A and B are shown apart, each in its own frame.
Chain A
Amino acid sequence: MSLAPLRGRVAYVFEEADFDVDQIVGVENIRLTDPDALAAHAMRRFDPGFAEKVEPGDVVVGAENFGYGHPHFAPMIGLRRLGIRAVIADSFATGYWREEIAEGFPQIACPGITGLVARWDEIEIDWEAAEVRNLSRGGALPTAPYSTAERGMLQAGGLIPYLREKLAADGSG
Chain B
Amino acid sequence: MGYTIAEKIMGRASRAGAPVPAGTEVEVKPDYVLGYDFPGYLDLIFKQMKEEFGIERVAEPERYALFIDHMVPANTPEEEELHIVTRTWCAENGVRLHEREGIGHQVAAEAGYAVPGGFVVHFDGHIAQLGAFGTLAIGIHTQLLEAFVRERIDFTVPETTRVNLTGRLAPGVMARDVFHHLVRVLGPRSCRFQVLELGGPALGDISLEGRQTITGLAMFTGALTAICNPDRLALDYAKAHVTQPFEPQASDADATYAALHEVDLTDLAPIVVVPPNPAATADLADHAGLEVQAGYLGSCASGRLEDLRAAAAVLKGRRVAPGFQLHVVPTSQAIMADAAREGLLTTLIEAGAFVTSSSCDYCYGRIATMTAGQRAVSTGTLNVTGRMGSPDSEIYLCNAAAVAASALEGRIADPRPYLAEATEAGA
Residues of A within 8 A of B (CB): 17-18, 20, 22, 26-28, 30, 64-65, 68-70, 91-95, 97-99, 102-103, 147-149, 159-160, 163-164, 166-167, 170
Q: Which 3 A-B pairs have the closest CB atoms?
A: A149-B154, A65-B189, A27-B386
In the assembled complex, B193 has its CB within 8 A of some CB on chain A: yes
Chain A hits for B382, CB < 8 A:
70
* A27-B384, A147-B25 known; A163-B188 Cβ under 8 A: no
CA distance A147 to B150 in the complex (A): 19
In the assembled complex, B122 has its CB within 8 A of some CB on chain A: no
Is A170's CB under 8 angstroms from B189's CB? Answer: no
- Tell me the minimal C-beta distance from B281 to chain A in angstroms: 13
* A27-B385, A99-B141, A99-B142 known; A166-B150 Cβ under 8 A: yes
Is A167's CB under 8 angstroms from B188's CB? Answer: no
Residue of A nearest to B145 (CB): A159
**Stretch of B1-9, B217-225, B252-260, B397-405 lying at the A interface:** B217-225
Given A94-B193, A95-B141, 4 other A-B contacts at CB below 8 A? A18-B189, A28-B386, A68-B278, A102-B141
Q: B-side binding surface: helix, strand, loop or mixed?
A: loop
Is A94's CB under 8 angstroms from B150's CB? Answer: no
Chain B hits for A91, CB < 8 A:
189, 192
CA distance A166 to B147 in the complex (A): 12
22 chain-A/chain-B pairs, Cβ below 8 angstroms: A20-B276, A20-B277, A20-B384, A30-B386, A65-B222, A68-B279, A69-B277, A70-B278, A70-B382, A92-B192, A93-B192, A94-B193, A95-B139, A95-B141, A97-B193, A103-B142, A148-B154, A149-B156, A163-B53, A164-B53, A167-B149, A170-B150
Is A163's CB under 8 angstroms from B223's CB? Answer: no
Is B189's CB under 8 angstroms from A163's CB? Answer: no
Q: A-side binding surface: helix, strand, loop or mixed?
A: helix
Is A159's CB under 8 angstroms from B189's CB? Answer: no
* A98-B140, A99-B142, A163-B146 known; A149-B222 Cβ under 8 A: no
CA distance A93 to B193 in the complex (A): 8
Is B222's CB under 8 angstroms from A160's CB? Answer: no
Chain A hits for B192, CB < 8 A:
65, 91-94
Binary CB contact string for chain B from 129 to 142 against chain A (1 if under 8 A, 0 otherwise) = 00000000001111
* A147-B154, A149-B154, A163-B150 known; A18-B279 Cβ under 8 A: yes
Is B156's CB under 8 angstroms from A94's CB? Answer: no
Residue of A nearest to B189 (CB): A65
CA distance A17 to B189 in the complex (A): 10
Which residues of B from 384 to 400 have beta carbons under 8 Å from A?
384-387, 391
Which residues of B from 256 to 308 have beta carbons under 8 Å from A?
276-279
CA distance A164 to B25 in the complex (A): 19
Is B188's CB under 8 angstroms from A65's CB? Answer: yes
Is A18's CB under 8 angstroms from B391's CB? Answer: no
- Tell me the minimal C-beta distance from A144 to chain B in angstroms: 10
Chain A hits for B35, CB < 8 A:
none
Chain A hits for B386, CB < 8 A:
27-28, 30
Residue of A nearest to B48 (CB): A160
CA distance A64 to B188 in the complex (A): 10
Is B53's CB under 8 angstroms from A167's CB? Answer: yes
In the assembled complex, B52 has its CB within 8 A of some CB on chain A: yes
